Amino acid sequence: MMTALGKLFRTTAFKLTLVYLTVFALFAIFLLGYFALNTKRLFTEQATDAVNAEITGLVEHFNVGGIRRLTLVVESRARRPGSSLYLVTTPGSDGLAGNVGSLPTGALDKQGWSETVYRRIEEGETSELHRALARVYHLPGGFRLLVGRDLEERERLFQVVLDAGKWSAAVVIILGLIGGFLVARRVLRRVDAMTETTRTIMGGNLSGRLLVGGSGDELDRLAHNLNEMLDRIEALMRGLKEVSDNIAHDLKTPLTRLRNRAEEALRTSRGEADYRAALEGTIEESDSLIKTFNALLMIARAESGQARDNMVDFDAAEAAHDIGELYEPLAEEQGLTLEVDAPDAIPLRGNRELISQALSNLVDNAIKYAGPEARANGTPSAVTVRARAEGDHVLLSVGDRGPGIPEADRKRVVERFVRLEKSRTIPGSGLGLSLASAVARLHGGELRLEDHAPGLCAVLVLPRNGPLPPATPVQTEAASRP
């Protein structure tokens, strides 16, 4: 219980509440202080104005009717209820009229304003002293006049304001704390739920996802982004697992073959010629293994997106001509004619090395799979390499007149190590189309396998300006605003 509360108090929500509360309280204190001081000043101002006016009036009475008239007027005014104070004395400080009973000694000696204490005339010597604001005026003949106001009213007003301040501060603080507590608890609950889910995910259940409340607040956005990240991680993990399974499975066979061949050579070889032949076979087999590894690495490179850094602008038509030249002798050997159809320059942005490799793989396939048929029939067959621009895309295609790939297998053959049954007799590792497809995806395009009726037409569809910059998965505050 204690730690749960501690956790609550340590939340950002609660700390924010405290900061707001402090700022608000300081503001309230300032406001109330200002209000109280002004009230006090206003009261004093009013009192002094009234007292000054009264003294002027009383002096007038004295001038007209002498001390007798003054004492009469003061006597009558002193009898009225209220906070007004009056005193008229002889030069020897003996009281003549008024409602003030006692004053501190010497209080009447100096003319002018002062804050003083006093007792009313009807109060005894032991009763409490009151505070007053009073003005002393010396009349001709040595008589003294004091007019003042009791300050009790002012103090009471001040007290009222002070009390109001105290109470409202208490209420604000209590309500603020309760509010902060509730908000913090709500946030904490959701964060705890998230933590719980991430824990099960870390425990190995990669398919778990965070709950998105649907209110679209910052926690929802965070959960949403984390879920997207988890989707991506899951996809990557699945890919990784597939690759390692494939490698384990498909590289084991050639390695076993290599080993058996070496063993066989040791067992049966009779002379140097035999050993030499066996070693040559071993080297050949190793070369094909190395080639497979290289292809796998290149696919991984394309799929990880690292190769995006090497984008250059180049002429796709020129690349097609280069590949055509490279493969021409091989095609002729197989009884095929290789035609390149790319009359105009086609600017393309991309990784030239990888795109050329992908195109080579397609030409290699065309020669490999259309060649035997052409030779068997004795009819010359054409392989066409074509480069053309279409809207925002550049299309690099390789068409042949061979057996083609049945519709049902077209999706499958681009997967790693997939080879069709009828191609078992032709050497290959089943990675050529995988690389071509990975390269196309790296550039934000695709590999299309189409019916060439008869034969296969493989098309690399690539965006002319290279891949779009990667979408920012984390939405920032500014980006989410219209």
Binding site for ligand ATP (CB under 6 A): 361, 365-366, 369, 400, 402-405, 413, 418-420, 423, 428-434, 456
* Shortest Å, Cβ 417 to ligand ATP: 8
Instruction: Measure the CA–CA gap between 448 and 433, rounded to whole angstroms.
Output: 10
What minimum distance in Å lies between the beta carbon of 386 and ligand ATP? 15
In degrees and rounded to multiples of 5, residue 397 shows phi and psi of -125, 150
- Measured CA to CA, the distance from residue 67 to residue 97 in angstroms comes to 10
Residue 370 CB coordination number (10 Å) = 27
Report, in Å, the least distance between residue 329 CB and ligand ATP: 19
Bridge partners of 375, per DSSP, are: none
State which residue, 350 or 432, has the beta carbon closest to Mg ion.
432
402 binds, among Mg ion, ligand ATP, none (CB under 5 to 8 A by kind): ligand ATP
Smaller CB separation from ligand ATP, 157 or 382: 382
**Considering the rule CB under 5 A, would residue 365 count as an interface residue with Mg ion?**
yes
Q: How far is the CB of 381 from ligand ATP (least distance, A)?
A: 12
Nearer to Mg ion, 404 or 432 (CB): 432
Tell me the closest approach of the beta carbon of residue 428 to Mg ion, in angstroms. Answer: 5
Cβ closer to ligand ATP: 324 or 463?
324
Beta carbon nearer to ligand ATP, 252 or 276: 252
3-state secondary structure of 456: strand
Q: Which is nearer to ligand ATP, 241 or 411 (CB)?
A: 411
Provide, rounded to whole angstroms, the least separation between the CB of residue 311 and ligand ATP: 25
Decide: 136 and 112 in contact? Cβ < 8 Å.
yes
Chain residues 389-448 in contact with Mg ion, contact rule CB under 5 A:
432
42 contacts 66 by C-beta, under 8 angstroms: no
Q: How big is the CA angle at 413 (ends 362 and 373), to the nearest 5 degrees?
A: 60
Q: Decide which of ligand ATP, Mg ion, none touches 456; Cβ closer than 5 to 8 Å per partner kind.
A: ligand ATP
Question: Which residue of the chain is nearest ligand ATP when measured via CB?
Answer: 432
Sign of CA dihedral 34, 40, 46, 48: negative
Nearest 5 degrees, angle CA 216-CA 222-CA 224? 70
The listed partner (ligand ATP, Mg ion, none) that binds 321, CB under 5 to 8 Å by sort, is none
DSSP string, 254-320: HHHHHHHHHHHHHHH--SHHHHHHHHHHHHHHHHHHHHHHHHHHHHHHHHHTGGGGG-EEEEHHHHH
Q: 413 touches which of ligand ATP, Mg ion, none (CB within 5 to 8 A by kind)?
A: ligand ATP
d(CA 216, CA 230): 19
CB closer to ligand ATP out of 101 and 428: 428
Q: Which is nearer to ligand ATP, 84 or 429 (CB)?
A: 429
- The number of residues that bind Mg ion (CB under 5 A) is 2
Question: In whole angstroms, how close is the CB of 407 to ligand ATP at the nearest point?
Answer: 13
Q: What is the DSSP string of 39-75?
A: HHHHHHHHHHHHHHHHHHHHHHHHHHHHHHHHHHHHH
Q: What is each CA distance from 159 to 155, 162, 165, 191, 228, in whole angstroms?
A: 6, 5, 10, 47, 61
Contact of residue 78 among Mg ion, ligand ATP, none (CB under 5-8 Å per partner type): none
Q: Does residue 360 bind Mg ion (CB under 5 A)? A: no
- Binding residues vs Mg ion (CB under 5 A): 365, 432
